[in-house]
Amino acid sequence: MTSILKHSRFIISLLLILLFVGCSSFRTFYYKKAINFERSRADLTLEKVSISEGEIVYLRNNPSDQAETILMVHGFGADKDNWILLARSLYQTYQLIIPDLPGHGESFKSMTANYSINNQVRRLHEFLNKLGLSTVHIMGHSMGGSIVSQFTSQYPQIVKSLVLVCSGGGHGTKSEFDILREQKGENPLIVNTYEDFKEIIHWAMEKPPYIPGPVLKVMAKQKIARAEIDNKIFQEVHIDESLTPVMSAIQAPTLIIWGQKDRLIHVDRGAVIQKAIPNSKFVVLKDIGHSPILEAPKKTSELIIDFYQTNKSL
């Protein structure tokens, strides 16, 4: 039991770092071993497809032909593998499609591309067309929530249901992150030093697990190398982040999940989003931060499965 617990904590450590690194070039032995093991536990394989601007790399499983599809969209600076722990509870029943968004992970990235919400929505639509998917259940975390909300509003005929986890796009009480940016002009999500990187972990989780120093240093180096494109993506995303009017047009059944102690996007934003989306349910997870999909994957998956079963006639 102790060895299993240690292994789980190590996996969470790696996935937590990926939440903000989103860099596929880190390929140490332990990273590959841990990630490949976790992918295999969810029957996930790595695939790729080309859209008009470049290549999108994604994970998918192989369920029965009758399985419905869930599209899982990660957040800012993150990676497809952030969904692995959640995928373990869903892969036997659903087809899972988990892409690296353009600008992230192993998908195409360029300093000349534009990564606004609307542009990412357009790319996701082209991505689904390439895969021949006409209807999906869709979920998004953080920035990914902003993207899938806009997608659902723009393509209501495609989206059967929507799950938002600590989603961007709403108005409400300012978070610690908002106040820091306003008062000091600082953005802790853009990493320029090793110390910056250590601090970012505490923004992501209420109780982050132990991360070995050598792993931390290698990951910090990779994250520092992403500072320029991360800053570009952050600025372009926030140009059109205010999506409350868009959310009011969403008709798909919607589940909103939030960590009570989210420092990046205040939990009150979830209540605002619930009021904006007519057919929605809002659940708060006590003592959890910005990353329920990593901090509380079991509870998060239980909420999602119950939500799907309640709306199984869709």
Contact by Cβ (8 Å): 85, 297: yes
Beginning with the edge strand found earlier in the chain, give each strand of the sheet holding 45-51 in spatial order. Answer: 45-51, 54-60, 95-99, 69-73, 136-141, 159-165, 254-259, 280-285
Instruction: Say which of 74, 137, 141, 290 is annotated catalytic.
Output: 74
Radius of gyration of the chain (CA): 18
CA distance 260 to 282: 12
Residue 248 known to be catalytic:
no
- Dihedral sign from CA coordinates of 259, 260, 261, 267: positive
Is 125 annotated as catalytic? no
Catalytic residue among 13, 116, 142, 167: 142
> Per-residue b/e over 249-266, b at no fewer than 16 CB within 10 Å?
ebebbbbbbbbebbbbbb
Q: What size, in residues, is the chain?
A: 314
Query: Strand ranges (DSSP E) for 184-279?
Result: 254-259
Q: What is the Cα–Cα distance from 40 to 126, expressed in whole angstroms?
A: 28
Q: Is 151 helix (H, G, I), strand (E, B) or coil?
A: helix
Copy the structure tokens of residue 144.
């990914």
Pair 151, 144: CB distance under 8 Å: no
- Which among 304, 306, 249 is positioned nearest to 278, based on CA atoms? 249
Instruction: Give the containing element (helix H, strand E) for 113.
Output: none
Residue among 68, 59, 73, 71 nearest 92 (CA): 68
Give me the active site residues, please: 74, 142
